[in-house]
């Protein structure tokens, strides 16, 4: 069996390959469906399958985690992902692929809930931001590499799916070496109370922390699922898009750890407000320079440097705001907020392309970030919030 530190890196490995699969799946299917003549609205709606899976599975994971422990829950989620990926080549039907997207969403959420809760529950407060930043960094690393798999379409439509499934299986097998653990007693006792009341209490105390994961979900799904459609329509080549899209996640690799460590020192709220401001500026510039390949590459990278860390910053912020017994509920709500943003992103941006073809796609992203900035300004600081709810 493995040490605590080795276990941490195995969990990070699972998160990386999950990011790779998601990063590949969104643009890959968007390009395939666009080339098959599917409208952008249907394309966007189809992309929500992944996040519908995340959303519908979220309320049902606490009790299995308490009963089975972290390891079985993570392994169930990972198995669902690599099996579903392997099934894509068997039948090219829109409804069948949608069901597989939903299954991957369920598997990903189960996997992320287990790994995320295990890491947050075992991280010391002085290193929590940094540990969660590693989580976000390696997810982004996988997301950066994933879209490059669209280049494999020229060889075979099946190759990207089978490659991603095989890599997921290889990392999943490493979990067999990890000892199982169950949530600490003070977290486990929370399962005996009403889930409805726990979720309401977590939302009341930590609502501001769920905005960054929601915004990140919107960004991730929109940039990977609908931007390829928009990019093709304004004249960019598929191969060019496969390098522009990963620049967002690639740039976030540079800022995840510094921003996580900085938030440990100066506070999550001030860092979140700063990065959201930078994201607003980046996507306004993207709208201005959208016809330039170099301009899009630079503005996507700028956006990644700022808002590519929103998910991990939101998790750290949630852990600051909520008492320990509400952390499982908080982790579930972070996943639900992410999935709500991810469902709204492709649907709203796909409809935006159909009904407002004269406006730049990037303005819908700017509008979202402005709303998140204003809401975060109005929220209370963690210490004030804890004192008020004590």
Mean pLDDT, range 30-35, rounded to an integer: 80
Does position 222 have pLDDT exceeding 50, yes or no? yes
Does position 370 have pLDDT exceeding 90, yes or no? yes
Q: First-to-last CA distance in the chain? A: 41
Is residue 15 within 8 A of residue 306, CB to CB? The reply is no
Does position 190 have pLDDT exceeding 60, yes or no? no
Mean pLDDT, range 353-360, rounded to an integer: 80
Average of per-residue pLDDT values in the chain: 82
Percentage of the residues of the chain whose pLDDT score is greater than 90: 17
> 355 to each of 169, 352, 360, how far by Cα in Å?
42, 5, 12
List, for residues 293-308, the tens digit of each pLDDT value: 899 999 999 999 999 8
Contacts of 22 (CB under 8 A, 6+ apart): 50, 104, 108, 142, 143, 146, 220, 224
Q: Which residue has the higher pLDDT, 182 or 99?
A: 99
Residue 23 burial (10 A CB sphere; 0-12, 13-18, 19+): buried
pLDDT value at residue 179: 84
Q: How confident is the model at residue 23 (pLDDT cuts 50, 70, 90)?
A: confident
pLDDT value at residue 184: 66
- All structural domains of the chain with their residue ranges: 4-389
List, for residues 155-174, the tens digit of each pLDDT value: 888 888 888 899 889 988 98
CA–CA distance, 341 with 337 (Å, rounded to integer): 6
Q: How confident is the model at residue 193 (pLDDT cuts 50, 70, 90)?
A: very low
List, for residues 295-351, the tens digit of each pLDDT value: 999 999 999 999 988 988 888 888 888 887 787 788 788 878 887 888 788 778 878
pLDDT value at residue 382: 56
Highest mean pLDDT among 42-56, 80-94, 117-131, 376-390: 80-94
List, for residues 228-283, the tens digit of each pLDDT value: 888 888 888 877 887 888 788 788 888 888 888 888 888 888 999 999 999 999 99
CA–CA distance, 244 with 297 (Å, rounded to integer): 5
pLDDT value at residue 195: 63
Highest mean pLDDT among 4-8, 287-291, 348-352: 287-291
CA–CA distance, 254 with 241 (Å, rounded to integer): 21
Q: What is the pTM of this model?
A: 0.72
Task: Pick 4-389's CATH classification: 1.10.10.10, 3.40.50.1980, 1.20.1250.20, 3.40.50.720.
Answer: 1.20.1250.20
Is residue 279 within 8 A of residue 373, CB to CB? The reply is no
């Amino acid at each position: 069996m493995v040490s605590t530190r080795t276990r941490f890196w195995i969990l990070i490995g699972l998160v990386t390959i999950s990011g790779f699969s998601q990063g590949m799946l969104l643009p890959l299917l968007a390009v395939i469906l666009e080339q098959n003549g599917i409208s952008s609205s249907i394309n966007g709606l189809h992309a929500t399958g992944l996040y519908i899976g995340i959303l519908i599975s979220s309320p049902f994971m606490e009790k299995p985690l308490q009963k089975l422990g972290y390891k079985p829950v993570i392994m169930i989620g990972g198995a669902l992902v690599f099996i579903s990926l392997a099934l894509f080549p068997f039948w090219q039907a829109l409804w069948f692929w949608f069901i597989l997207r939903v299954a991957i969403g369920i598997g990903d959420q189960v996997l992320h809930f287990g790994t995320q809760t295990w890491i947050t529950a075992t991280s010391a407060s002085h290193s929590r931001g940094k540990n969660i930043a590693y989580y976000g960094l390696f997810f982004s690393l996988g997301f950066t590499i994933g879209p490059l798999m669209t280049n494999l379409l020229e060889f075979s439509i099946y190759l990207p799916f089978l490659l991603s499934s095989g890599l997921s299986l290889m990392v999943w097998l490493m979990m067999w070496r990890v000892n199982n653990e169950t949530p600490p007693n003070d977290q486990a006792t929370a399962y005996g109370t009403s889930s409805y009341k726990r979720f309401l209490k977590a939302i009341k105390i930590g609502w501001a922390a769920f905005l960054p994961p929601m915004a990140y979900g919107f960004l991730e799904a929109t940039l990977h699922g609908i931007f390829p459609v928009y990019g093709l329509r304004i004249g960019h080549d598929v191969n060019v898009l496969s390098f522009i899209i990963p620049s967002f996640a690639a740039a976030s690799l540079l800022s995840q750890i510094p921003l996580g460590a900085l938030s440990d020192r100066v506070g999550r709220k001030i860092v979140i407000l700063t990065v959201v401001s930078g994201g607003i500026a980046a996507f306004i510039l993207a709208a201005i320079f959208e016809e330039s390949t170099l301009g899009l590459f630079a503005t996507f990278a700028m956006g990644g440097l700022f808002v590519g860390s929103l998910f991990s910053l939101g998790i750290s912020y949630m852990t600051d705001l909520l008492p320990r017994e509400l952390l499982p509920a908080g982790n579930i709500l972070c996943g639900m907020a992410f999935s709500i943003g991810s469902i709204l992103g492709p649907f709203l941006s796909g409809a935006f392309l159909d009904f407002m073809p004269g406006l730049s796609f990037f303005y819908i992203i700017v509008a979202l970030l402005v709303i998140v900035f204003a809401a975060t300004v109005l929220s209370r600081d963690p210490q004030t919030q804890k004192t008020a709810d004590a």
